[in-house]
C-alpha cells in the first residue's frame, strides 16, 4: 500500500542560522523521501535563508507580510499532502516524528495531534524554559502541529487578523469543532539518530531513548528578546478572548491565573517534578511572573487608550 504524502510547511524570515538543521531533520526522517513534501514560505529574507532552503526543496516561496499569512499560504494553497505539519525554522524533528504521527492519527478519529516539544540550551534560562515546556505537553497550553489536511482546509487555517499571539490556540479551537486532538507518545530508537544527534546533545538534551519530539532551539536565550516577544504577542490576547468567550473552558485555563500558575504544574502528578527541581521551579515562576506583568500592563494600556 502506498504511503500517504505528508506536507511539512516551514515559515522563515532571515533564518540562515537555523533553517539548515531544520530542513535536514525533515529530510532525515525514517519516512520515504518521495512521500514528503517540504514547503518553505519565506518573508523577504535578505540573508542566505532561501539559498540554504533550495538545497532541500524546490518549493521555496515568498509571501508576507506576517507569519500567519505565510503559514496559510503553505498549508492551504501549496500543500498537496493528505496530512500536513507546520513548524518554525528554529525547530528540529527527531527522526521518527512523522512516522509516529501517521501511525497515531491513522489509529484514531483524531483530526490533529499534539507533539512533545523539548527546548534546547545549556544556559540557566534555557533549562528553565525546557522545564516549563515539559508541563505543557498535551494540555490546552500546547498547540497541534500534525493535521489532516481536509480538516485544516475546513478550519480556515490561521487567523489573518492576528500577526502573532494566540494564533495556535485559535487554530486548535477551530479544529476541535471538527474532531478531537490527540497526542503522540512513541519512543525514539537511539539507533535511528543520524549526525544531528550531536547537535541536540551539545545543547543539553540526551537523545537516547527519548520520546519522539520536536526540539525547539532556544540555546541562545535572551531575556530581553523573550519578554519583548511576549509584549508583541499580548495585544492579540483580548481579541482571542472576545472570539471564544471568557467563560470558554479552554480560554479560562489558557489565560486564567489559577491554571497558568498552578494547575498545569500540579495536575496528573506533575507536582512531583516541582519537588525534584526546586531551583528550576523557582526560575519558572519568576519567568511566568515577568510574562504576567507584561500581559497586565498591555491590557491596562488598552483600557486607558479606549477611555481616552
Whole-prediction pTM? 0.93
Please choose, from the candidates 90, 83, 88, 100, the residue with its C-alpha nearest in 3D space to the C-alpha of residue 210.
100
How far apart, in Å, are the Cα atoms of 100 and each of 39, 105, 186, 188, 252?
20, 9, 7, 9, 31
Residue 296 lies in a domain: no
Instruction: State the CATH number of the domain containing residue 103.
Output: 3.90.550.10
User: Which residue is listed with cell 532556544?
Assistant: 218
Q: Which residue has the higher pLDDT, 227 or 26?
A: 26
3-state secondary structure of 5: coil
pLDDT over threshold 90, residue 63: yes
Residue 293 lies in a domain: no
With cut-offs at 50, 70 and 90, classify the pLDDT of residue 302: low
With cut-offs at 50, 70 and 90, classify the pLDDT of residue 121: very high
Over 234-260, what HEC string results?
Answer: HHHHHHHHHHHCCCCHHHHHHHCHHHH
Q: Are 243 and 249 in contact (CB under 8 A)?
A: no
pLDDT over threshold 80, residue 200: yes
Residue 15 lies in a domain: yes
Which of 2-11, 161-170, 235-244, 294-303 has the least mean pLDDT? 294-303
Count how many domains the chain has.
Answer: 1
Residue 279 lies in a domain: no
Residue 258 lies in a domain: no
Q: What is the pLDDT of residue 209?
A: 63
Q: What is the pLDDT of residue 207?
A: 82
Mean pLDDT of 234-240: 84
Q: What is the domain extent for residue 99?
A: 6-220
CA distance 242 to 245: 5
Mean pLDDT of 277-294: 94
Residue 295 lies in a domain: no
Residue 290 lies in a domain: no
Q: What is the pLDDT of residue 65?
A: 86
With cut-offs at 50, 70 and 90, classify the pLDDT of residue 180: very high
CA distance 41 to 60: 6
Residue 66 lies in a domain: yes
Q: What is the pLDDT of residue 113?
A: 98
Which of 43-52, 165-174, 208-217 has the least mean pLDDT? 208-217
Amino acid at each position: 500500500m502506498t504511503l500517504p504524502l505528508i506536507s511539512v510547511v516551514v515559515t522563515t524570515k532571515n533564518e540562515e542560522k537555523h533553517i539548515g538543521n531544520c530542513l535536514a531533520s525533515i529530510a532525515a526522517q525514517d519516512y520515504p523521501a518521495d512521500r514528503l513534501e517540504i514547503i518553505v514560505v519565506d518573508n523577504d529574507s535578505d540573508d542566505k535563508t532561501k539559498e540554504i532552503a533550495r538545497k532541500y526543496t524546490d518549493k521555496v516561496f515568498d509571501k508576507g507580510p506576517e507569519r500567519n499569512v505565510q503559514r496559510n499560504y503553505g498549508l492551504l494553497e501549496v500543500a498537496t499532502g493528505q496530512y500536513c505539519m507546520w513548524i518554525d525554522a528554529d525547530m528540529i524533528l527527531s527522526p521518527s516524528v512523522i512516522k509516529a504521527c501517521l501511525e497515531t492519527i491513522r489509529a484514531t478519529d483524531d483530526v490533529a495531534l499534539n507533539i512533545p516539544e523539548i527546548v534546547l540550551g545549556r544556559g540557566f534560562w534555557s533549562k528553565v524554559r525546557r522545564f516549563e515546556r515539559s508541563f505543557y505537553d498535551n494540555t490546552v497550553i500546547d498547540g497541534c502541529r500534525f493535521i489532516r489536511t481536509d480538516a485544516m482546509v475546513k478550519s480556515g487555517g490561521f487567523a489573518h487578523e492576528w500577526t502573532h499571539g494566540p494564533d495556535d490556540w485559535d487554530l486548535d479551537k477551530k479544529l476541535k469543532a471538527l474532531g478531537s486532538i490527540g497526542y503522540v507518545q512513541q519512543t525514539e530508537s537511539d539507533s535511528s539518530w543520524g549526525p544531528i544527534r550531536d547537535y541536540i546533545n551539545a545543547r543539553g538534551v540526551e537523545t537516547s531513548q527519548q520520546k519522539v519530539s520536536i526540539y525547539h532551539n532556544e540555546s541562545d536565550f535572551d531575556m530581553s528578546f523573550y519578554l519583548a516577544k511576549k509584549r508583541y504577542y499580548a495585544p492579540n490576547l483580548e481579541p482571542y478572548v472576545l472570539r471564544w468567550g471568557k467563560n470558554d473552558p479552554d480560554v479560562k485555563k489558557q489565560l486564567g491565573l489559577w491554571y497558568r500558575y498552578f494547575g498545569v504544574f500540579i495536575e496528573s502528578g506533575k507536582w512531583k517534578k516541582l519537588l525534584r527541581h526546586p531551583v528550576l521551579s523557582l526560575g519558572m515562576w519568576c519567568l511566568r511572573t515577568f510574562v504576567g506583568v507584561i500581559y497586565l500592563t498591555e491590557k491596562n494600556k488598552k483600557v486607558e487608550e479606549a477611555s481616552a
